[in-house]
Chains A and B, each alone.
Chain A
């Protein structure tokens, strides 16, 4: 078993990207994907190697990229989600994503999901960035793959309940709306069977480093993100509602961490919190 769930996550995200390109007719430009990857890794190096070296921090190697795995996950996440026309847009998104980890911290913990931050920056500041919510379609095969892969990673890092609460809240709100409007069940199912929604729920809203540490905090957090996403989507007709909801509510993380204090997540700490058995112990023991 891999000690670091990030390697599994990188593998799955790379697989999804290959699947998207080969079977979902995505027309991606390779150079823009390369720019996203390079800008993420580059900014990781700048913020974690170059700047600390210039500040004479001890134990920093200039020619290494610490936590390159995290930067690569962010890069792959952006490759899967963000579309643009220009190299500059992609470089901005990748750079901003990683820089947000250093720029927006509270008690040494960043609270924006880096890829989500990059997406919002690109959507806000450039004319040519977009996200395609319909890109996966609604075929069950993909959904099962996402659930399988996501479930595996989440079980590993102990954050599956965040996805579950997010999806349950969103599905519940949609169910109430559909029932109230009088749409048939197939309309409801079609809405929920969106590959993009599942990927977001399993791979973005669950980032263990930027979401609340305590399980209670994550419950509140995930439900709030789902509610806001639903509101933006159905009342304000924002097609990228999920990303805006996550962005807007990210600053809640430090607040929730104060209300329900708990140990921070570490990627490589198999005995304490990054392994599956801790899930069995339920609330409290996980952290």
Chain B
């Protein structure tokens, strides 16, 4: 355990614990909903399908190097903070100095940096071009090549291993001998846990998992006039590279979205007990998608999820963070990467001496297709990937040169393909898509009302 001090620095302050009246329990992983700003991209970066799109989305950062893991759980708890509680099974026991609260902004940053994005390009006046049909940046193939890259302790066989406060949270670390005891303990301590909890707790207890239980310290929360709960961050060392999702399904209403940002020193992270699939990417979409990028990406994700039999995790982003050319957002600084948990990064350093590879996985899971907890592995895969969709705006000003006819034909064909592609990936019907299309039509020479 001493080793961990070298990689987990946490100047934490203990805050006296207050009595609480927590009556509801949120078990599992919670999320943060954040709005995106617009940032420049090769072309014009116009929109983003960030985590705020999904109703029940959790966001988690997992930074892992060797057996050392820093887990950050975003918190979007919307109810009365008095009722907030969180129970997370951890494969090992952690001490107070291995827990801290994190800055919610870091999750926003990672989300912005990695969210599927829409980029736009504009056709130039075809009359200004040296050759007919050549449009600047108009060919998606060009983009492909450009790699941008106190509690009643001791009772019910439950042991309170540690008890402390971190920021606005009161935290208890429990170990238990049997699940009914743990369930009874939680109820005795006013955690209103869902029915059927004990059978799900049992496998964790038998694998010697510990339970990280957090509630809100109301005095601290009010004293600091906090508007929202900050993410909880914990560091531990375990050969298990996994995320428990079973507890979270107990009180879930339907499928849940989970976005995991992995930071590793080597390469992509993938699921080992479920499929990992790249989200369809790098295709042209009609320009009306700009106004409804959120619903477009939701439909695309839904269709892909259904096609994958609702049992795959989707890769939305994979990138070496030490470089990007150009970047989709301002690259994360070494300080920000450390904030996100990448403990191996030297705060002053940059570049290849501080390798960080980021993987963004998006899962939509339900009890039926995701019975097992998620297991991962870090691979040597350093291929970059991003969910990226392209709008190629047609030139809509009058065109006064012989190239006009050819250009209109070309754009007509292009828009037709864009409409079909959109319908294919989103599951939207073709009439639906066609009705929204902003077709480029040539100025009609036959619009003279006096003509028979």
Contact = CB atoms under 8 A, between A and B. Distances in A.
Contact of B270 (A128, A134, A181): A134
A139 B311 CA distance: 9
Given A128-B267, A132-B379, A187-B371, A182 B199 contact: yes
Interface residues of A, number: 33
Contact of B382 (A128, A136, A184, A194): A128
B274 A184 contact: no
B267 to A, nearest CB: 7
Given A128-B267, A181-B207, A182-B202, A239 B377 contact: yes
B273 A134 contact: yes
A61 interface: no
Contacts of B276: 132, 134
B239 interface: yes
B383 A85 contact: yes
A63 interface: no
Most A CB within 10 A of own CB, among B202, B239, B270? B270
Contacts of B372: 187, 190-191
B240 interface: yes
B304 to A, nearest CB: 9
Given A126-B380, A194-B273, A27 B278 contact: yes
Contacts of B347: none
B409 interface: no
Interface string A50-78: 00000000000000000000000000000
B438 interface: no
B8 interface: no
A181 B377 CA distance: 23
Contacts of A137: 274-275, 308-309, 311-312
Contacts of B311: 137-139
A128 B240 CA distance: 21
B202 A181 contact: yes
A27 B274 CA distance: 16
A239 B272 contact: yes
Contacts of B241: 237
B437 interface: no
Contacts of A181: 202-203, 206-207
Interface string B294-311: 000000000000001101
B125 interface: no
A186 B275 CA distance: 17
A136 B207 CA distance: 28
Interface in B58-89: none
Given A184-B371, A187-B371, A236-B239, A85 B382 contact: yes
Most B CB within 10 A of own CB, among A183, A186, A236? A183
Interface string A209-246: 00000000000000000000000000011010000000
A130 B379 contact: yes
B266 interface: yes
Contacts of A130: 377, 379-381
Most A CB within 10 A of own CB, among B270, B311, B380? B380
B375 interface: yes
A180 interface: yes
B309 A139 contact: yes
Given A84-B380, A237-B240, A127 B266 contact: yes
Interface in B174-232: 179, 199, 202-203, 206-207
Contacts of A83: 379, 381
A77 to B, nearest CB: 19
Contacts of A182: 179, 199, 202-203, 206
Interface string A79-90: 000011100000
B271 interface: yes
B202 A190 contact: no
A108 interface: no
Contacts of A187: 371-372
A237 B372 CA distance: 15
A184 B202 CA distance: 11
Given A83-B379, A237-B240, A134 B275 contact: yes
A239 B206 contact: no
B332 interface: no
A286 interface: no
A183 B199 CA distance: 8
A24 B275 contact: yes
B54 to A, nearest CB: 22
B177 to A, nearest CB: 14
Contacts of A139: 309, 311
Contacts of A126: 380
A191 to B, nearest CB: 7
Contacts of A271: none
A201 B27 CA distance: 38
Contacts of B271: 134
B149 interface: no
B433 interface: no
Interface in A182-213: 182-184, 186-187, 189-191, 194
Contacts of A133: 272-273, 377
B277 interface: yes
Contacts of B308: 25, 137
B228 to A, nearest CB: 35
A135 interface: yes
A129 interface: yes
Contact of A183 (B203, B239, B274, B375): B203
Interface string B271-297: 111111110000000000000000000
Given A127-B266, A130-B377, A237-B239, A180 B275 contact: no
13 contacts: A25-B275, A83-B379, A85-B380, A130-B379, A137-B275, A137-B308, A137-B311, A181-B202, A181-B203, A181-B207, A183-B203, A239-B272, A239-B377
* 5 A-B pairs with the lowest CB-CB distances in the bound complex, closest first: A128-B380, A130-B379, A182-B202, A181-B203, A186-B371
Given A85-B380, A181-B202, A182-B202, 15 more contacts: A24-B275, A27-B383, A85-B381, A85-B382, A132-B270, A133-B273, A134-B272, A137-B308, A139-B309, A181-B206, A184-B371, A187-B371, A191-B372, A236-B239, A237-B240
